[in-house]
Structure 1
Amino acid sequence: MRSVQTDWFLYKKLIYTFKPSFRVTEVLQKDNDYFFIFSHNMGNAKSLIGKSKLRKLNPKTLAELQKNVDVYFTADEIQEWFQEYQSNLNKGMSKLTRKDFKEVYNTVFHGDATSFVDQLFRCFDIDGDGFVDFKEFIVGLCVSSSENSETKLKWAFNMYDIDGNGMICKEEMVHIIKAIYKMTNTVEHGEQDSAEEMCTRFFEKFDLNRDGYISFKEFKEGAMEDSMIVKLLECDPDPHI
């Protein structure tokens, strides 16, 4: 058993998004920090493969990941994630597929996660080959939960910028918000404005030159005043945990 200090969203991302084989035994809070006490177990069904039978990450790839400015995991943590990554691959596969992502999210969330996962997968799949290899997996995990505001904002902007043209239009923002609502069943419970209403509010604050698009500069400046546009992407399958 060991103790770690991390942010609340990253903890949930570890537990829910990629289903690592950790069981939290205690959560302590001091001021604004959370301390998690956890023990290692056998994880999900796909993790029942003996960890001793799974190969370790080769030293060259490990060194490349540690040199990546966006990766903040230690060598041991990267190796642990490599074990989990392998145990979640389908038989005969060496990379995660879009289907793998969807299966995880549709298991975790009460709604339909398909649309949201399509966009999340797009951001993880850096080379656009239709798969997420281990390097992309680690970089995506670190970037999407980064404590560096610039890094986190770039990731959030890319999630909204579906066509990758460097600008967010209203249709793209509505699509992402609707995907989040659909995945979390938010609209059905009447807990938020409609996607169109929320999009309108964001554009009123963020689209400073009123050209109908939000540039990264506008997004960055607006997010400093209203962080909800980023927090929306930090979907919570169980707000009571």
Structure 2
Amino acid sequence: MTTAHHITRKAVQVAIDDLCAKKVHFGKNEIEALLNIYKTITKNQDRMDRLKFRDVLHNSFDMTDDILMDRVFRAFDRDNDGYISMTEWVEGLSIFLRGTHEEKIRYAFTVYDLNGDGYISREEMFQMLKTSIIKQPSEEDPDEGIKDLVEIALKKMDKDHDSRLSFQDFHDSVLADPLLLECFGQCLPDHKTVKAFLATFSSGSLKKNGF
């Protein structure tokens, strides 16, 4: 296991050059501001662990679902090393905060494909809906209601009728009905929290948002 290192000025410059070349949805000054936020969160270490990242999702974007926060972490952690690097942080936020519709569809599918096999299965839908739906006290078995929702989702989105959602199924369904983008739980921030987070760059008031 690699150890964390202090972030040097040179490492920041390399990350900025790399991110500018990749044409993320941020200007150079915004990238610098995001890297400053990263350094504050990690206490100037060159990697962000799962707990620190979950704090950001919870405190800045009001996310509470454990399964989905874990999957968002994995979507950001592109090299799958269990940490988010400076580059992964900015690349992830580029889609998270300002992604195109296509980028957000691909991202949401990655989050919802819990086992990473390229499909969203009945079991995965059930697991996500079970944690994201508010429990209503009733006589009925709540699991039955969730199973009904899974069947409704499949009926609406499973274009090739193989009882699971491929990326193409999900993509075509969301293009036809954009409200389906987060149909299995919140994996993207709402407009209000995006605006508040983006405001921290321009105002420089990072402390307001817990940084």
Asked if Structure 1 and Structure 2 have the same fold, meaning a TM-score greater than 0.5 normalized by the shorter chain, the answer is yes
Aligned partners of 1:143 and 1:109: how far apart in 2?
Answer: 14
Count, aligned residues: 179
Shift of 1:58: 3.1
Corresponding residue of 1:73 = 26
Does the CA-based 8 Å contact 2:96-2:189 persist in structure 1?
Answer: no
Of the two structures, which has the highest relative contact order with CA contacts closer than 8 Å and spacing of 6 or more?
A: 2
4+ residue segments displaced more than 4 Å: 54-57, 106-112, 235-239
SS of 1:96's partner is coil
Counterpart AA for 1:125? D
SS of 2:117's partner is coil
What value does the CA root-mean-square deviation take over the aligned residues?
3.2
Between the two proteins, what is the percent identity of the paired residues? 25
Does the CA-based 8 Å contact 1:57-1:82 persist in structure 2?
Answer: no
Cα 1:77/1:237, change in 2 over 3 Å: closer
Shift of 1:179: 3.9
Corresponding residue of 2:47 = 95
Corresponding residue of 1:159 = 111
1:184-204 alpha-carbon deviations (Å, 9 max, x no partner) = xx44599xx954343322211
Shift of 1:225: 2.0
Corresponding residue of 1:64 = 18
Does the CA-based 8 Å contact 1:56-1:82 persist in structure 2?
Answer: no
TM-score (norm 2): 0.71
Where does 1:71-220 land on structure 2 (aligned, <5 Å)? 71-89=24-42, 91=43, 93-107=45-59, 112-181=64-133, 186-187=134-135, 195-220=146-171
Give the unaligned 5+ runs of structure 1.
1-53
Counterpart AA for 2:187? L
SS of 2:165's partner is strand
Cα 1:131/1:103, change in 2 over 3 Å: same
1:158-215 alpha-carbon deviations (Å, 9 max, x no partner) = 011112111111112232333434xxxx44599xx95434332221111112111111
Aligned partners of 2:39 and 2:16: how far apart in 1?
Answer: 15
Aligned partners of 1:189 and 1:60: how far apart in 2?
Answer: 54
Cα 1:172/1:126, change in 2 over 3 Å: same
Aligned partners of 2:122 and 2:68: how far apart in 1?
Answer: 17
Aligned partners of 1:189 and 1:109: how far apart in 2?
Answer: 28
Cα 1:56/1:114, change in 2 over 3 Å: farther
Does the CA-based 8 Å contact 2:15-2:86 persist in structure 1?
Answer: no
Q: Which deviates more from structure 2 when the two are superposed, residues 58-67 or residues 102-111?
A: 102-111
SS of 2:120's partner is strand
Shift of 1:131: 0.3
Shift of 1:236: 4.9
Structure whose residues are more often helix by fraction = 2
Aligned partners of 1:141 and 1:112: how far apart in 2?
Answer: 18
